[in-house]
A and B are shown apart, each in its own frame.
Chain A
Amino acid sequence: MSGAERPYTLVAELTYRCPLRCVYCSNPLDYGQHREELDTETWLRVLREAEDLGVVQLNLTGGEPLVRDDVEALIAEARRLDLYTNLITSGIPLRRERLARFRELGLDNVQISIQDTEAVASDRIAGRRSFERKLTVAAWVKELGFPLTLNTVLHRANLDHVADIVALAEQLGADRLELANTQYLGWALPNRAALLPTPAQLGQAREVAAEARRRLRGRMEVLFVTPDYYTDLPKACMDGWGRRFIVLSPDGLALPCHAAHTLPGLRFESVRERSLGDIWRDSAGFGAFRGESWMPEPCRSCERRGIDFGGCRCQAFHLTGNAAATDPTCRLSPDHHLIETARREAADASSRPLLYRSPRGVAVERRSP
Chain B
Amino acid sequence: MISAESRLRLAAKARLRFDRKSSRYMLLYPERGLVLNPTAADVLQRCDGERTVDSIVEELARQYGHERPAVEREVMAFLQNMADRGLVQAVA
Q: Which residues of A contact B (CB under 8 A)?
A: 6, 8-9, 54, 56-57, 59, 82, 84, 86, 108-109, 111, 145-147, 149, 175-176, 217-221
Contact = CB atoms under 8 A, between A and B. Distances in A.
B30 A8 contact: no
A57 B11 contact: no
Q: In the complex, which of the residues B15, B17, B85 has the most CB atoms of chain A within 10 Å of its own CB atom?
A: B15
B17 A84 contact: yes
A111 B29 CA distance: 12
Contacts of A56: 17, 19, 26, 28, 33
Contacts of B31: 9, 57, 59, 86
B69 interface: no
Contacts of B21: 6, 54
Q: In the complex, which of the residues A8, A9, A59, A220 has the most CB atoms of chain B within 10 Å of its own CB atom?
A: A8
A220 B31 CA distance: 15
A84 B86 contact: no
A149 B12 contact: no
A66 B57 CA distance: 45
Interface of B: 11-13, 15, 17, 19, 21, 26, 28-31, 33, 83-86, 89
Nearest to B17: A82
B30 A111 contact: yes
21 contacts: A6-B21, A9-B31, A54-B19, A54-B21, A57-B28, A57-B33, A59-B31, A84-B15, A84-B28, A84-B30, A84-B33, A108-B13, A109-B13, A111-B30, A147-B11, A147-B30, A175-B11, A175-B12, A176-B13, A218-B85, A220-B86
A147 B12 contact: yes
A219 B86 contact: yes
Given A109-B30, A218-B85, A218-B86, A145 B12 contact: yes
Given A84-B33, A86-B31, 17 more contacts: A6-B21, A56-B33, A57-B31, A57-B33, A84-B15, A84-B30, A86-B30, A108-B15, A108-B30, A111-B30, A147-B30, A175-B11, A175-B12, A175-B86, A176-B13, A217-B84, A218-B85
B83 to A, nearest CB: 5
B39 to A, nearest CB: 21
A147 B30 CA distance: 9
A176 B33 CA distance: 15
A47 B70 CA distance: 43
A84 B12 contact: no
A147 B19 CA distance: 23
Contacts of A176: 13, 30
